[in-house]
Amino acid sequence: MFSIRQKLMLGFGGLLAIVAGIGVMTILQIRHLGEAIDVILRENYRSVVACQEMKESLERVESGIVFTFLGADADGRHQIEDGMKQFSRALTVEMGNITLPGEGEKSRQLGDSYRAYSEIIPRVIDPSRTLEERRLDYFSTLLPLFVQIKGLAQEILEMNQANMSEANDAARSQADSAQRRMTIAILACAVAAVLFSLLIQRWILDPIRQLIESANEVRRGNLEWVLETGSRDEIGQLSEAFNSMAEGLRTIRRSERLDLMRTRRATGEVFKALPSAIAVLDLDGRVEVATGDAERLFGLKPGVKVEDLGYDWLSPLIRRVQTEGRVVDVTAKESCIQIFGDNREYFFAPTVVPIQAESGRDEISGTAVILKDMSQVREQQELKRSAVTTVSHQLRNPLTSIRMSIHLLLEETLGPLNPKQAELLVAAREESERLTGIVEELLDLNRMESGRTLLDIDRISPHQLAQDSLEPFQVEARDKGVRLDNTVPDDVPEVLGDSKRLQHVLSNLLSNALRFTGPGGAVSVSAEAESGMVRFAVTDTGAGIVADDVNRVFEPFYRVPGQGKPTGIGLGLAIVKEIIKTHGGSVGVNSTPGRGSMFWFTLPQAGITSPPAASPNEESRG
């Protein structure tokens, strides 16, 4: 049995042999045609040209003789001399190019006649003789020799022309014969090529097509496909290897199916035992496996499509994860999902996680929905708000009475005070005022967190807002040796907001900046427009904040360690954050220990964004 290599060598070898044969035949034919043409050019054409020149030069000699008869001896002799020189050269060429039978004899006769002709010419043109004698010699001897020489030259010319015609016919015949042979060879080559193409299709192309079809079947998952092997060449060996591969894949698939079924059963049992609501979805949004809480509270049962459950909040999250390929985490308290089940109210924070198809690749094969139970957190927040509200309200009335009593005592309406008593009452008044401020901050923060804050929205100039906020701190800054700067340009776009609460924000940030900036330092307020918002910044050259504390400074009741004597309970920045959030902005801090801090916040520009919404149910601060 031939291998593919041998089959290809056989086919291409045959074509090569035909092409080589055509090439050899072409070379030989061209050589024969060249020889024929060489005969025409080399053997005959030179003789024809020589005979023609002899005839023309002989005519010139005759003309010169006539000139001498007419009395032009000088011109005649000159023309005779030139004609005889030309005749001698042409005769020499002809004598050296004898190629035809009989041509040599005629050439010798021509030479003998020309010599006799040459010997008589001096007598005919001799001026010492009479004209009659010269004419008699010319007509009796020289003219017959002229006719004889010219006739011999014509005969030699015609002999060579005849041979040229025969050689031309022979060359044309050889060319026609070569054309026929070339045509036959080309047709034979074409037939061989067609035959070889058919054999190539049978030997190689058809088996390769079968291999491609088999590979496509395997790609579509049909591992039961068996490829027929009808030869023992490389294609046949490849077919056998393909069948062996398919058999190996069938074995692996059976093993993987068993492992997958076992893993799915184990995963399902483990999922059911998990206390959280978790569901794994495929790319079509169909549930593959879910925990008991996910099935019981959300209906995320295996085989169910998420779109059929009617959750408007879940499908967009899944689409975002599939598009962006990252975790989408919604943990804000206002974004919790409220669910009623088991005769109680639940709150869940949804998180959707992409499941990668392969490690190290961005392609995902599904998503996991994790629903974190926030019910206890919400209950704790509500309990904290309730406790803070209750305690704060309960403290307000006694504090008011204490403040009034201290005020009356300090006015000495009930009798004079000694210096020690006055000093104690002043300290008590300061502490009662501080405690009243703490209670008001607690109530204010509680109202903002519960969404019961009413905003008096108006258009505000950032430059004027900064100037009004800096004014109360000028004396304190001058006494401390700290420079206050308002670097807000006049052309910064106006913002939408409650001027009183925004002044509270800036006052809080300026108060902190002054507190932690030493003499010789500087505190500045700046603002600039960016993407429909205006970004404010309060920058100081104080001690700065370490990285571990930067992310916690806006938490309620958090105070940065090592900041000296406490002046509050850590609610100022938390209130700042809630006020800015209520205005639809964001807040943050950048700080470097030893080089100062920059607290920034953003507010919407007037005329570009809608005013922030607020609840009308503001609790009285009476």
**pLDDT confidence of residue 256:** 76
Give the range among 153-162, 198-207, 346-355 with minimum mean pLDDT. 198-207
**pLDDT confidence of residue 621:** 31
**pLDDT confidence of residue 463:** 93
Beta bridge partners of 591: 597
**pLDDT confidence of residue 521:** 92
- pLDDT class of 501 with cuts at 50, 70, 90: confident
Across the range 509-535, mean pLDDT stands at 91
Sequence-distant (6+) residues with CB within 8 A of 401 are: none
* 483 touches 612 (CB < 8 A): no
Tens-place pLDDT, residues 452-477: 556 678 899 999 999 999 999 999 99
**pLDDT confidence of residue 473:** 92
pLDDT of 357 strictly over 80: no
| Level-2 CATH architecture, domain 274-373 | 2-Layer Sandwich (3.30)
Single out the residue of 173, 239, 250 nearest to residue 206, CA to CA: 239
- pLDDT class of 616 with cuts at 50, 70, 90: very low
- pLDDT class of 610 with cuts at 50, 70, 90: low
pLDDT of 393 strictly over 60: no
| Level-2 CATH architecture, domain 4-196 | Up-down Bundle (1.20)
Give the range among 103-107, 222-226, 249-253 with minimum mean pLDDT. 222-226
**pLDDT confidence of residue 439:** 63
d(CA 470, CA 485): 8
Looking at mean pLDDT, say which of 111-115, 161-165, 266-270 comes out highest.
111-115
Between 564 and 112, the more confident residue is: 112
Tens-place pLDDT, residues 280-339: 888 888 888 888 777 877 888 888 888 888 787 788 888 888 888 788 776 444 467 777
Homologous superfamily of domain range 458-604: Histidine kinase-like ATPase, C-terminal domain (3.30.565.10)
Per the prediction, the chain carries an average pLDDT of 77
Residue located via tokens 């992409």: 354
Between 351 and 452, the more confident residue is: 351
- pLDDT class of 38 with cuts at 50, 70, 90: low
d(CA 442, CA 448): 10
**pLDDT confidence of residue 334:** 47
Single out the residue of 582, 578, 600 nearest to residue 509, CA to CA: 600
pLDDT of 181 strictly over 60: yes
- pLDDT class of 615 with cuts at 50, 70, 90: very low
Residue 447: how many other CB atoms lie within 10 Å: 20
Across the range 519-531, mean pLDDT stands at 92
Give the range among 2-11, 12-21, 70-79 with minimum mean pLDDT. 2-11
Sequence-distant (6+) residues with CB within 8 A of 154 are: 51, 55
pLDDT of 431 strictly over 80: no
Kind plus residue range of the DSSP H or E element containing 528? strand 522-530
* Chain mean position to CA 151: 91
DSSP 8-class letter at 142 = I
Encode burial over 324-354: b for 16+ CB neighbours within 10 A, e otherwise.
Answer: eeeebebeeeeebbebeeeeeebbbbbbbbb
pTM beyond 0.85? no
Give the range among 289-293, 377-381, 531-535, 563-567 with minimum mean pLDDT. 563-567
**pLDDT confidence of residue 620:** 32
Between 391 and 162, the more confident residue is: 162
Residue 30: how many other CB atoms lie within 10 Å: 13
**pLDDT confidence of residue 278:** 83
Across the range 178-205, mean pLDDT stands at 76
Residue 570: how many other CB atoms lie within 10 Å: 17
CA Rg value for the chain? 61
Percent of the chain with pLDDT over 90: 11
d(CA 442, CA 43): 131
Across the range 405-415, mean pLDDT stands at 73
Angle between helices 103-124 and 46-69 (to 10 degrees): 20
pLDDT of 105 strictly over 90: no
- pLDDT class of 222 with cuts at 50, 70, 90: confident
Beta pairing, strands 533-540 & 277-282: unpaired
pLDDT of 385 strictly over 70: no
d(CA 186, CA 50): 45
**pLDDT confidence of residue 619:** 34
Residue type, 574: A
Q: Is 496 helix (H, G, I), strand (E, B) or coil?
A: strand
Looking at mean pLDDT, say which of 50-59, 374-383, 459-468, 552-561 comes out highest.
459-468
Single out the residue of 497, 487, 432 nearest to residue 461, CA to CA: 497
**pLDDT confidence of residue 381:** 58
d(CA 515, CA 480): 10
For the chain, the structural domain boundaries read 4-196, 274-373, 380-449, 458-604
Between 53 and 383, the more confident residue is: 53
**pLDDT confidence of residue 526:** 94
d(CA 138, CA 130): 12
